[in-house]
């Protein structure tokens, strides 16, 4: 191999994006926050972050929180961030990590992502407290889109309370129809 191709190979191996972020993937899967932090300092591409970040879901709540925080501090944004909020909300109520949800919101995760479908599980579980928190950041369109979910709640008191919350969030404003 020529010296030029040799140095190109060294550069490729040193890249945090090499093989779709294989080194970063390994560090995340192992829950190695120290190594992950060092690799993230190498500024992986948004594509690598989008590939690796979802692996944080496989970690325990404590490890997941720390790992997600590292990614957020390295400016994780866009659909990947919004999907993370959606996933965190959709966890079974016994596994849900409200501190992780608050962290994602702090870094501007958008509750309106995918018309706020993440709110559907909160409505079905009648988690009125968390729903109220998230509706503070919901658009009128998202609130309107979730009215159909509330209408399927059998407990009339919970249905009334959630309908009132959605209407207070602007469900009837700026929408042509509620399907």
pLDDT digits (tens, 9 = 90+) for 127-179: 999 999 999 999 999 999 999 999 999 999 999 999 999 999 998 754 455 55
- Please report the pLDDT score of residue 176 as a whole number: 54
Question: Mean pLDDT, to the nearest integer, of 45-66?
Answer: 93
Q: What percent of the chain has pLDDT over 70?
A: 88
Q: CB of 143 within 8 A of CB of 166?
A: yes
- Please report the pLDDT score of residue 7 as a whole number: 46
Question: Mean pLDDT, to the nearest integer, of 108-112?
Answer: 94
d(CA 8, CA 105): 41
- Please report the pLDDT score of residue 12 as a whole number: 47
Confidence of residue 92 (pLDDT cuts 50, 70, 90): confident
Residues 6+ apart with CB under 8 A from 35: 27
């Amino acid at each position: 191999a020529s010296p030029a191709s040799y140095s190109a190979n060294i550069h490729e191996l040193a890249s945090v994006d090499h093989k779709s972020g294989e080194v970063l993937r390994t560090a995340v899967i192992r829950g190695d926050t120290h190594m992950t932090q060092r690799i993230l300092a190498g500024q992986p591409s948004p594509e690598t972050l989008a590939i690796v970040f979802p692996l944080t879901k496989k970690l325990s709540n404590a490890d997941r929180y720390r790992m997600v925080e590292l990614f957020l501090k390295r400016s994780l944004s866009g659909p990947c961030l919004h999907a993370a909020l959606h996933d965190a909300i959709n966890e079974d109520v016994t596994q849900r990590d409200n501190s992780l949800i608050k962290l994602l919101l702090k870094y501007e995760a958008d509750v309106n992502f995918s018309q706020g479908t993440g709110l559907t599980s909160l409505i079905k579980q009648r988690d009125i407290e968390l729903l109220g928190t998230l509706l503070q950041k919901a658009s009128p369109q998202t609130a309107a889109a979730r009215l159909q979910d509330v209408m399927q709640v059998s407990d009339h008191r919970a249905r009334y309370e959630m309908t009132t919350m959605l209407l207070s969030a602007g469900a009837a404003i700026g929408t042509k129809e509620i399907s």
